[in-house]
Amino acid sequence: MREIVKLGAILGLVCAIAGASLAVVHAVTGDIIVERQEKALMSKLQALVPAAERFEKIEPEDGGVYYLGYRGEAVVGAILEGTAKGYSGEMRLLVAVDESGKIGGVEVVEHGETIGIGTRALEPKFLQQFNGRAHDEQLIAGKNVDMITGATVSSRGVLSSVSNALELYKTHVLKLDPEDNWDLAKVKDGVYEGTAPGFKSDIKVKVTVQGGKITAVEVVSIEDTPEVYTDAVKEVPPRIVEKQHWKVDATTGATLSSKGIMEAVRAAIPDTSLKFDKIADGTYEGIGQGFGGELKVRVEVANGAVTKITVLSHKETDYVSDPAFELIPAAIIEKQSVKVDAVSGASYTSKGLIEAVTDALEAAPER
């Protein structure tokens, strides 16, 4: 009995020493691992925005992570973290976006994809095709993106990650209002005129649109104080062309004139948002791009309102996509708008449903 007790005491002592040793090793190596991860991250950030001297990490309250690259006090680049579900778990990517809203590079931070299969979607050859792309309906739908045969789910995971990063850029870096109804891609080429109140009277502008982009903004008439509005006329139009949006920084000392020019540009661009109450009664079908491929819907319109949305076919994973199939149609009908929030965990299916409903209604005749 004594031998057993003695042996138990020795084993207990050994376990205690081993546990303490492991704790010490973990404390030491844990810091080393964190330090290495931080250095690896900084290396990726530097590769994406070489001009930056330092980076500021920002975590918005509503989720997401992005980094602003600074040279001195000037912002020289933005890098957004995009996450999405791949074939074997969540993948995290860093997406660099330039001042015009186009992708400058994509780097992989973390993934669980199968080596030699899913990881083909994480190689430079695949990632580089996103360079120069902007956040538009074509990119969201995966158009002009070469998916990898045999690694489709991983490819779509990357596409979704990039799209989510660009959405973060629009919302938090550009601070664009999602209800702004500003979609230049749908505006026909031409010259548009708009007016808005200035400091003393209305300001009139001409806006030239070509290929879905603003190419010129001309202030046609302005009667504000010359000493004040001159700088606004010189500075605000180029900012609008650069940002491709009417909402830009105002000129110091000419706030009202600046806002007048901005609002006039906003008034000049036609409202391309989809208005349900303008659609003729009937039943329409549309196609969108889900996570697993095309999905098709039928939309019923009566008395200027969408009354029913039916999913006709899809290739989504049932247990993952079910919440989107349940909540997105209901949200669109309740809000009478396709501008609804994606369902967490089923964002790609959500966007596919929204795209399919939009596709159906945009082709419908007006009342």
> Among 219, 252, 268, which residue terminates a domain?
268
Higher pLDDT, 148 or 37: 148
200 vs 158 pLDDT, higher one:
158
Give the residue, 199 or 5, on which the prediction is more confident: 199
**Pair 246, 345 in one domain:** no
pTM as predicted: 0.55
Count how many domains the chain has: 4
CATH code of the domain containing 226: 3.90.1010.20
Does residue 292 lie in a domain region?
yes
Tell me: pLDDT of 14 over 90. no
Q: What is the mean pLDDT of residues 26-52?
A: 76
Q: How far is CA 355 from CA 113, 259, 297, in A?
A: 28, 33, 10
Q: Tens digits of per-residue pLDDT, 207-241?
A: 999 988 999 999 999 887 777 678 899 999 999 99
Asked whether residue 16 carries a pLDDT value surpassing 70, the answer given is no
CA atoms within 13 A on the CB side of 117: 10
**21 and 58 assigned to the same domain:** no
In this prediction, residue 360 carries a pLDDT of 93
Two structure tokens written together for 290: 């889900």
Predicted confidence (pLDDT) per residue in 244-295, tens digit:
888 888 888 888 889 899 999 999 998 887 889 889 999 999 998 887 788 9
Mean pLDDT of all residues in the chain?
A: 84
In CATH, what number is assigned to the domain containing residue 106? 3.90.1010
Domain boundary among 135, 151, 173: 173
Which of 173, 200, 218 corresponds to the end of one domain? Answer: 173
Domain containing 238 equals 184-268
Q: Is residue 367 part of a domain?
A: no
67 and 42 belong to one structural domain: no
